[in-house]
Structure 1
Amino acid sequence: MDHDQYPSVSLHNVAETEPAEWGPDGDRLCRIPSSFGQELNEMAADRVRHPTASEVRFVPTEDDAAIEVTLSAAEETEFRTFWGVHQPWQPTEVGPTPETYTFSVPERLREIEPTDEAGRFDPEVCRIRFERRTAIAIHDISGDCRPPNEDELPEQRYLAYGTSITEGAAASALHTDYVTHVARDLGYDLLNFGCSGSAYADSSMADYLATRDDWDVATLELSVNMANADFTPAEFHDRVEYFVNTIADAHPEKPIVCLTLFPYFDDLTESGDAEHASAFRDAVRAVVAESPHENLHVVAGTDLNDITGLTADLLHPGDAGMERIGTRLADRLEAIAE
């Protein structure tokens, strides 16, 4: 998305900016507009003001151009700078004090021809990619650069909604989460609307996602957050029914895949409640079966991971689980989209 205050770059997975409360002259990156965000549950309203998989993207107009980007964060955190699909050796630290970082095309990448074999992004597209942990603000951008052109980016976009699992909470880095694996395997660009601890299928989130027409396939992870909160299966059913049908109503030709609960502690421990988990999975299946929309599909989360892919909390997938989910889900999406 292009923003008037920063015309030389594209702000990806950013719906709007707002003043950063931790410092002057900073524009905080938000994934959905405040007009929708303020109607979410309190935790989700905060999460969508974190830049999970948000990116500052630009292409230097000359190979030796030096682009300066001034950033700050609400707390100490890191970002990673990709050139096309090429990841950095190390992350870069950023904190509450604004700091200016300089970027130029790495010398060897200047010799790479932008072919299909070079990856789904042109190698001269700089992608400053942010993590989920804390809020980020832009203060200034200078230097000879432009936003990427369409032919320098993936042709299709993948939209993902879900819990902290979709936000990549336990992945060792955000580019190892399952949704990034899916995007990479299928050659898609990624829009991540994960809401850690707060994916309650809020109607305002459905209303917002329904307004967006810049995606080609979507997955909706529905939702261990609700199973672990005070929602009954009947309440869950009603929320999911509105959520998925609202998006499908607006995009009847686009594949929308509803993911049931991944395997987690309720399925696996002596103190768990497997019937409770099953009731929530059954509710998602029922909603899709009852829906008039043929573009709605169900993929069972239990088919995508197992206990060996979980971290020690028996809830969040670790790196092995993220890769397993991403690979298996990519295969399902490819078959559905055919």
Structure 2
Amino acid sequence: MIFQGIDFHNVDSLVRQSQGYAMQRVPDSVRLQLNENARDEVRFNSTGVELRFKIKSEKAVLSLKAEPGSEAMTAFIYYGSFQGGWQNSSKAIGVQETRISIPRPGDPEILQKLTGDCGLPFNPEVIRVVLPYGRCLFLGIEGDVEPPEQGDLPDKTYLAYGSSITHGSLALAAPCTYPFRIAQKLGCDYLNLGYAGSAYLEKEMAEYIVSRKDWDFASVEMGINMLYGNFTADQFEERVRSFVEVFSREERPVFATSIFGFNGSREFQEKAALFRKIVKKYAGEKLIFTDGLELLDNPAWISEDLIHPAVDGILQIADRWSDVMKKYGV
């Protein structure tokens, strides 16, 4: 959506609050049909949100504010496909108003030439402020800015749905999430519909994703939230069956995976093995299926919480899954 000369990428609507605008990724018609955590707690997480604009003046000053969280809230700045230089690479977002000054690129001709020579997907005139996974508020922008045009952006878009692993927890930086990395590797744009602790495979979410016309291929990560969410095997199977059935009618490529490797207790490992079989049963023939253990199987690359991949694990998922996707010509 476009607001104040900015393309709020991966945002469906801005919700006015007392201190600024919260960013919501799906419309209320979908949100209100999801589980309580997805509906109420994760609704304003800025997972995969980018503020994109072109600067017509010498600089732009962006005002943001973060809600308190357990991890650092950092915005990462890109000039098209190029990470910002050391003065403009990342900025901490505080719980008070944070003003981020972003200058126009210093050598635009060189960046334009490199973009063409290297076949990079983004026009380097497009500023991309990549927000963290927590809750951020947009307060405003100063300077002469305009949203990018279609020709400034990649031709294709990848959409990812899944748990906190898709969402970006423990990636440490938003550009290290596997959807961001896969998009980089495949030279495309991305949309992140990760829902931390609440990817419960609602049929309504599948129908919403399929109804969107702004993606060319998608991935769905299924299982870990429902494993720890006390779903029985029968309940999980019914959710997977109806979720996959919606995607099976989709002509665009949909890549599916089951639970990635993790270091949880024996009880959860046994249940995870059953859940993986269920996902394979339904997604194995109807979608482009890769078992989660084929994407991440190294116990040393799981974080101290025994569930989430550490950065090395996330990068392995991105490497292996993007290789699978390349075989299907996306």
TM-score, length basis structure 2 = 0.90
Q: Name the CA shift for 1:205/1:127 in 2 (closer, same or farther; >3 Å).
A: same
1:121 matched residue in structure 2: 122
Give yes or no for contact 2:158–2:188 (8 Å, CA) kept in 1.
Answer: yes
Give the letter for the 1:191 counterpart: L
Q: Name the CA shift for 1:116/1:154 in 2 (closer, same or farther; >3 Å).
A: farther
1:279 matched residue in structure 2: 274
Residue 44 of structure 1 pairs with residue 41 of structure 2:
no
1:158 aligns to what SS in structure 2? Answer: strand
2:310 matched residue in structure 1: 318
**Separation in 2, partners of 1:235, 1:220:** 18
Q: Name the CA shift for 1:32/1:91 in 2 (closer, same or farther; >3 Å).
A: same
The aligned runs of 1:129-208 (5 Å cut-off) are 129-133=130-134, 135-208=135-208
1:20 equivalent among 11, 17, 29: 17
1:101 matched residue in structure 2: 100
Q: CA deviation at 1:30?
A: 1.0
Q: Name the CA shift for 1:110/1:140 in 2 (closer, same or farther; >3 Å).
A: farther
Q: CA deviation at 1:224?
A: 0.6
1:67 matched residue in structure 2: 60
Q: CA deviation at 1:151?
A: 2.1
2:232 matched residue in structure 1: 232
Give the letter for the 1:324 counterpart: Q
**Separation in 1, partners of 2:243, 2:183:** 23
1:67 aligns to what SS in structure 2? Answer: strand
2:207 aligns to what SS in structure 1? Answer: helix
Deviation string 1:149-179 (CA, Å, 9 cap, x unpaired) is 2222111111001111111211121111222
**Separation in 2, partners of 1:38, 1:286:** 30
2:83 aligns to what SS in structure 1? Answer: coil
**Separation in 2, partners of 1:220, 1:311:** 22
Deviation string 1:8-57 (CA, Å, 9 cap, x unpaired) is 22110001110225x2xx21111111221122112112213211120110
Count of aligned positions: 320
Give yes or no for contact 1:309–1:324 (8 Å, CA) kept in 2.
Answer: no
Deviation string 1:232-264 (CA, Å, 9 cap, x unpaired) is 122112112222322443xx2201111111111
2:6 matched residue in structure 1: 9
The aligned runs of 1:287-302 (5 Å cut-off) are 287-289=282-284, 291=286, 296-302=287-293
2:44 aligns to what SS in structure 1? Answer: coil
Give the letter for the 2:280 counterpart: R
Q: CA deviation at 1:317?
A: 1.0
Give the letter for the 1:221 counterpart: E
2:82 aligns to what SS in structure 1? Answer: coil
**Separation in 1, partners of 2:130, 2:99:** 16
**Separation in 2, partners of 1:289, 1:28:** 38
1:259 matched residue in structure 2: 257
Q: Name the CA shift for 1:290/1:86 in 2 (closer, same or farther; >3 Å).
A: closer
**Separation in 1, partners of 2:181, 2:285:** 31
Give yes or no for contact 1:54–1:129 (8 Å, CA) kept in 2.
Answer: yes
1:305 matched residue in structure 2: 296
1:33 equivalent among 20, 27, 32: 27
2:77 matched residue in structure 1: 81
1:170 aligns to what SS in structure 2? Answer: coil
**Separation in 2, partners of 1:109, 1:276:** 54
Give yes or no for contact 1:112–1:118 (8 Å, CA) kept in 2.
Answer: no
Q: Which moved more, 1:89-98 or 1:195-204?
A: 89-98
2:181 aligns to what SS in structure 1? Answer: helix
C-alpha RMSD over aligned residues: 2.0
Give yes or no for contact 2:262–2:309 (8 Å, CA) kept in 1.
Answer: no
Identical-pair percentage: 30
**Separation in 2, partners of 1:94, 1:81:** 13
Structure 2 gap ranges (5+): none
Structure 1 gap ranges (5+): none
Give yes or no for contact 2:11–2:24 (8 Å, CA) kept in 1.
Answer: yes
